[in-house]
């Protein structure tokens, strides 16, 4: 029995009975910072969830008070999750679009956390960003769609559901129909048009399952409760450090599961060797890490043209012109100013790319689609259908501009 267990352990964990060599000199944010600055950190994979968009005014539907599901009574749903089930949607699309209108963000402004990932990309460190969010803020922040896996799809593009048609539509086109209270119909075949977000009963993007040889994993703002998204944490090499930036510790597994090779995060045991938790909001965590990395390129004479720095997490006030966060903060301020300058224009988003018809600034004061992203991604019930996607990763789905993704497969029917 022990032999079998030992073999299982060495095979699943790749440990050969021994733990992998620790890579970090200390299990702390500072240790991670030193590792990123070393030449051993070749690339970084980020996994992000709703928590990175809350400071953009896109609430996490799981947090109390957002009341997403309590708004749904008037729609006569058989049960709340039906609004995100593909079978129900095909028969009764109205509730979903009514909800989309109610939750549509007034403005798309990426957060400090989004721009931190943009810096990782600009410095050649970002290997891949997996996001659970459907709010398109990663794209607005300038992340290259080639580096992006929108695990639960995106509102950025929409497609006709009819298999023989699959006509593609832009965000601006979809927004116009949502706000004119029309159920979006295909201009070619009159079929139903659905945003490329992944409903229950649909497949995840095929690229989702690519194994990655990353040297560092950064997990931000996700409760790691949705499969198969949560399983990604164990798909990196066993010696790859994993940093969690989140309001609470998450992703830890019970001891028996770890023994069987389904190891979660281990922050605190005496066997901990690679996992670090930084507790707090994602923007503060990214600022603290940027500070440790010394990512500033501006001369001290450069004056801030915006609000002063947020307080240093260590409590000592920072002098804005000398702030180590200046490179990150200046990027955030410059990009936000560009979005503000576009105001209510038709193309209020994605500053770097000629995407004139993509409407980023809905002008509606309503809260947000981000809830909706969570509603479809983290209800108590919907795990079965997500797991179903895991068995059959062949069919691409989602609005990624990757070649494989340009023609999302037709959905497989609700449960």
* 186 marked among binding-site residues: yes
- Angle CA(264)–CA(270)–CA(273) in degrees, nearest 5? 60
What does residue 298 show for φ and ψ, rounded to 5 degrees?
-85, 140
The pLDDT, as a whole number, for residue 289 is 94
HSE of 265, CA atoms in CB hemisphere, 13 A? 25
| C-alpha distances in Å from residue 132, one per residue of 47, 74, 122 | 8, 28, 22
The pLDDT, as a whole number, for residue 362 is 38
Query: Which CATH code fits 25-291+367-405?
Result: 3.40.50.1220
* 247 marked among binding-site residues: yes
DSSP alpha helices (H): ranges in 126-268?
Answer: 137-140, 171-179, 255-259
* 33 marked among binding-site residues: no
**Closest to 24 in 3D by CA, of 16, 32, 15:** 32
The number of helices, as runs of H, and strands, as runs of E, in the chain is 12, 9
Report residue 41 CA to chain centroid gap: 22
* 286 marked among binding-site residues: no
Helix (H) or strand (E) holding 158: strand 153-160
* 407 marked among binding-site residues: no
**Closest to 262 in 3D by CA, of 17, 12, 19:** 12
* 60 marked among binding-site residues: yes
- Map tokens 């923007």 to a residue: 283
Catalytic residue, candidates 152, 159, 302, 336 = 152
The pLDDT, as a whole number, for residue 77 is 82
* 50 marked among binding-site residues: yes
The pLDDT, as a whole number, for residue 53 is 86
- Angle CA(307)–CA(310)–CA(315) in degrees, nearest 5? 145
Beta strand pairing call for 44-48 and 148-150: unpaired
Contact predicate 203/393, CB 8 Å: yes
Average pLDDT of adjacent 10-residue blocks, the chain of 415 residues: 64 53 92 95 93 77 53 74 87 88 74 93 93 88 92 88 95 90 93 90 73 87 80 86 93 60 78 93 93 64 36 39 65 86 54 38 35 34 35 39 38 36
The pLDDT, as a whole number, for residue 186 is 96
* 312 marked among binding-site residues: no
- Angle CA(188)–CA(164)–CA(153) in degrees, nearest 5? 90
The pLDDT, as a whole number, for residue 170 is 92
Active site residue 159: no
As a dihedral over the C-alpha atoms of residue 230, residue 233, residue 234, residue 236, rounded to 10 degrees, the angle is: 140
| C-alpha distances in Å from residue 244, one per residue of 76, 175, 217, 260, 391 | 39, 35, 9, 23, 27
Instruction: Sketch the domain layout of the chain as residue ranges.
Output: 25-291+367-405
* 406 marked among binding-site residues: no
Contact predicate 102/366, CB 8 Å: yes
* 239 marked among binding-site residues: no
Contact predicate 198/412, CB 8 Å: no
Rounded CA gap, 370 and 156, in Å?
13
């Amino acid at each position: 029995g022990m032999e079998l267990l030992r073999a299982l352990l060495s095979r699943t964990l790749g440990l050969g009975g021994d733990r992998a060599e620790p890579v970090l000199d200390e299990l702390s944010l500072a240790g991670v910072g030193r590792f990123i600055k070393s030449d051993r950190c070749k690339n970084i994979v980020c996994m992000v969830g709703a928590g990175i968009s809350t400071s953009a005014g896109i609430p996490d539907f799981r947090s109390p008070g957002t009341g997403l599901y309590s708004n749904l009574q008037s729609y006569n749903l058989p049960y709340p999750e039906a609004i995100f089930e593909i079978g129900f949607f095909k028969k009764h699309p109205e509730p979903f679009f009514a909800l989309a209108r109610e939750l549509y963000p007034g403005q798309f402004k990426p957060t400090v956390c989004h721009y931190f990932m943009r810096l990782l990309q600009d410095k050649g460190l970002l290997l891949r960003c997996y996001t659970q969010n459907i709010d398109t803020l990663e794209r607005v922040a300038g992340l290259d769609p080639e580096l992006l896996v929108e695990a639960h799809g995106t509102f950025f593009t929409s497609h006709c559901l009819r298999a023989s048609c699959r006509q593609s539509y832009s965000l601006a086109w979809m927004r116009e129909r949502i706000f004119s209270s029309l159920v979006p119909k295909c201009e070619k075949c009159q079929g139903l048009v659905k945003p490329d977000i992944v409903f229950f009963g649909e497949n995840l993007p095929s690229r989702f399952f690519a194994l990655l040889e990353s040297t560092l994993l950064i997990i931000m703002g996700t409760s790691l409760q949705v499969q198969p998204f949560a399983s990604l944490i164990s798909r990196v090499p066993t010696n790859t450090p994993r940093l969690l930036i989140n309001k609470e510790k998450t992703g830890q597994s019970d001891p028996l599961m770890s023994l069987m090779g389904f190891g979660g995060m281990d922050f605190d045991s005496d066997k901990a060797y690679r996992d670090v938790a930084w507790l707090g909001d994602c923007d503060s965590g990214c600022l603290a890490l940027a500070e440790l990395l010394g990512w500033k390129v501006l001369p001290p004479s450069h004056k801030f043209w915006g609000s002063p720095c947020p307080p240093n997490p260590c409590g000592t006030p920072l002098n804005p012109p000398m702030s180590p966060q200046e490179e990150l903060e200046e990027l955030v301020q410059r990009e936000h100013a560009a979005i503000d300058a576009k105001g209510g224009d038709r193309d209020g988003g994605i500053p770097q790319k000629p995407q004139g018809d993509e409407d980023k600034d809905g002008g509606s004061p309503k809260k947000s689609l981000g809830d909706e992203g969570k509603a479809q991604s983290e209800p108590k019930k919907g795990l079965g259908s997500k797991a179903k996607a895991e068995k059959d990763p062949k069919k691409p789905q989602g609005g990624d501009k990757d070649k494989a993704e340009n023609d999302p497969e037709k959905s497989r029917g609700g449960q």
